[in-house]
């Protein structure tokens, strides 16, 4: 019986739009999708295949005696399912989709060594809102915190898998796909290696992604793809979401630093000056800044750090960190009174040996607030880091000095 050499798996969080996406992709003349299946997860999820193989090795049973490798074992287990799916697909590449496949995606990659994976990523706020309003019999329907944790867990697993196997897994942002289906599907077609087809694009445009809402729900309102549920959430819901998923939203590009700071402000409770997510977000931002510094700033350099800042940014593997602005004692002296004063102070510190200037994410406001100072930097110095890195870094060496130095 012929089998499909390169099936396609769609993974992602529950309520992220995987069903509509699989149905749309199944409209391609070279692809086939029937409906969501549960058998792979029920039979092989939770590490059951790996446990079976480990037990055989431990007790020197048939797999051990016949010297069957783990890779061979898992691939042979996948052949049976492949043959079954292929017997129904009419010679087309088959598609399997269920969020339950996400936790076992690494096992699936070994069971189907030539398969491609599409990770459908949806904004956590919309996903969680849909999870608690969908009316399904699931543990997260009546527990907002569990829904937040589930979204974060599934997204983390899928993105970690994609980072390890970039040639096998493509991340598809559902909001971007909905905004420009033509461009999004072109990228998907290239990745999975099929020709262009209009039918999936038309299907997605005419079928709303993940719009089901529990009848009579009044907790969080309706979940629509372009509907932002955040303003409708209670203060408690907002705080729970930031506690459970705030760092993930920032880490995976669901929001930028400015939007996240607005979300933090929206969730502020005057009775709680130090919410739990504050330190977590600060640690993440600091770690992101440190990674950019390690990449872009030499280890023996003198680095100016804008703002009161994190002391960790002042002591990094031999680099000498100075506050900016700073007083005679080297302590943070507060924002300069004028643009001219800030420029004079910067140039004086440069003559004293400062070589780089860092704007951490919590100091972005300076670049926008003081346009004259920013214009001075952009006219004289080279940016070696961008906001996408989590910070902005300037090399304080004018191009003419760099050429003659």
pLDDT in tens, 271-304: 877 787 888 888 888 888 888 888 889 988 999 9
162 and 49 co-located in one domain: yes
Nearest to 34 by CA among 98, 103, 83: 98
52 and 200 co-located in one domain: yes
Q: Confidence band (pLDDT; 50, 70, 90) for 319? A: confident
172 and 317 co-located in one domain: no
The count of domains in the chain is: 2
Q: How far apart are CA 199 and CA 32, in angstroms?
A: 13
Q: Confidence band (pLDDT; 50, 70, 90) for 64? A: very high
pLDDT of amino acid 207: 80
Structure tokens at 274: 């130090």
340 falls within a domain: yes
Region 126-132: mean pLDDT is: 94
Whether 135 and 215 have beta carbons less than 8 Å apart is answered as yes
Q: Confidence band (pLDDT; 50, 70, 90) for 171? A: very high
73 falls within a domain: yes
274 falls within a domain: no
pLDDT of amino acid 56: 93
41 and 175 co-located in one domain: yes
Does the pLDDT value for residue 403 go beyond 60?
no
Domain that holds residue 372: 297-404
Q: How far apart are CA 38 and CA 15, in angstroms?
A: 16
pLDDT of amino acid 52: 93
Locus of tokens 């999975």 = 192
226 falls within a domain: no
Determine the 3-state secondary structure of 41 from DSSP: helix
Residues 330-356: pLDDT tens digits? 888 877 778 999 999 999 999 999 999
Residues 214-266: pLDDT tens digits? 434 433 333 344 578 999 999 999 999 999 999 999 999 899 888 998 999 99
pLDDT of amino acid 389: 65
Determine the number of helices (DSSP H) and then strands (DSSP E) in the chain.
18, 11
pLDDT of amino acid 223: 36
Strand partners, 327: none
41 and 166 co-located in one domain: yes
Region 16-29: mean pLDDT is: 95
DSSP state of 217: -
Does the pLDDT value for residue 366 go beyond 90?
no
Q: Which domain-ending residue is among 190, 206, 222?
A: 206
315 and 192 co-located in one domain: no
Termini Cα distance of the chain: 70
Structure tokens at 120: 């459908």
DSSP state of 167: T
CATH of the domain at 103: 3.40.50.300
pLDDT of amino acid 231: 94
DSSP state of 197: -
202 and 301 co-located in one domain: no
269 falls within a domain: no
Does the pLDDT value for residue 86 go beyond 50?
yes
Q: Which domain-ending residue is among 173, 206, 239?
A: 206
pLDDT of amino acid 219: 38
pLDDT of amino acid 2: 84
Q: How far apart are CA 258 and CA 256, in angstroms?
A: 6
pLDDT of amino acid 218: 36
Does the pLDDT value for residue 92 go beyond 90?
yes
The C-alpha R_g of the chain, in whole angstroms, comes to 26
Q: How far apart are CA 405 and CA 104, in angstroms?
A: 55
289 falls within a domain: no
Structure tokens at 332: 């943070």
304 and 187 co-located in one domain: no
Strand partners, 356: 303, 395
DSSP state of 14: T
CA dihedral over 80, 83, 86, 91, signed as positive or negative: positive
Average pLDDT for the chain: 88
> Who has greater pLDDT, 214 or 268?
268
Residues 371-400: pLDDT tens digits? 999 999 999 999 986 666 678 999 998 755
C-alpha distances in angstroms, 134 versus 55, 60, 179?
A: 40, 48, 23
pLDDT of amino acid 220: 37
15 and 153 co-located in one domain: yes
Range list of H helices, 225-363 = 235-251, 257-266, 276-296, 339-351
Top-confidence range, 3-12, 201-210, 299-308: 3-12
238 falls within a domain: no
164 and 310 co-located in one domain: no
249 falls within a domain: no
Q: Which domain-ending residue is among 206, 229, 262?
A: 206
């Amino acid at each position: 019986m012929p089998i499909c050499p390169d099936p396609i798996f769609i993974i992602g969080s529950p309520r992220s739009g995987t069903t509509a996406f699989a149905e749309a992709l199944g409209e391609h003349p070279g692809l086939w999708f029937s409906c969501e299946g549960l058998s792979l997860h029920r039979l092989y999820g939770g590490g059951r295949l790996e446990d079976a193989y480990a037990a055989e090795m431990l007790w020197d049973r048939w797999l051990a005696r016949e010297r069957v490798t783990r890779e061979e074992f898992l691939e042979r287990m996948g052949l049976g399912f492949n043959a079954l799916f292929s017997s129904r697909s009419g010679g087309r590449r088959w598609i399997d989709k269920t969020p339950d496949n996400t936790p076992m995606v690494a096992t699936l990659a070994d069971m189907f060594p030539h398969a491609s994976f599409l990770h459908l990523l949806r904004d956590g706020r919309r996903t969680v809102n849909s999870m608690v309003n969908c009316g399904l019999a699931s543990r997260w329907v009546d527990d907002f915190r569990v829904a937040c944790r589930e979204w974060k867990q599934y997204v983390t697993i899928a993105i970690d898998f994609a980072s390890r196997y970039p040639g096998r897994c493509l991340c598809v942002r559902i909001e971007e796909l909905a905004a420009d289906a033509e461009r999004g599907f072109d990228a998907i077609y290239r990745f999975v290696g099929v020709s262009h087809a209009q039918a999936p694009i038309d299907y997605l445009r005419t079928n709303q992604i993940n719009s089901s809402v529990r009848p009579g729900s009044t907790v969080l309102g309706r979940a629509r793809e372009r509907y932002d549920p955040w303003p409708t959430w209670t203060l408690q819901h907002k705080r729970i979401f930031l506690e459970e998923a705030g760092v993930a939203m920032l880490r995976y590009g669901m929001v930028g630093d400015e939007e996240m700071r607005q979300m933090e402000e929206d969730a502020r409770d005057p009775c709680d000056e130090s919410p739990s997510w504050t330190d977590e977000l600060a640690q993440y931002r600091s770690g992101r800044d440190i990674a950019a510094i390690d990449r872009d700033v030499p280890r023996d350099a003198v680095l100016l750090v804008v703002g009161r800042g994190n002391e960790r940014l002042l002591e990094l593997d031999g680099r000498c960190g100075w506050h900016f602005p700073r007083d005679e004692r080297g302590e943070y002296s507060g924002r300069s009174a004028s643009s001219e004063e800030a420029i004079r102070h910067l140039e004086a510190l440069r003559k004293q040996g400062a070589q780089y200037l860092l704007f951490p994410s919590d100091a972005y406001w300076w670049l926008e607030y003081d346009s004259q100072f920013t214009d001075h930097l952009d006219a004289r110095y080279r940016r070696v880091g961008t906001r996408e890195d989590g910070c902005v870094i300037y090399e304080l060496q004018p191009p003419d000095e760099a050429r003659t130095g």
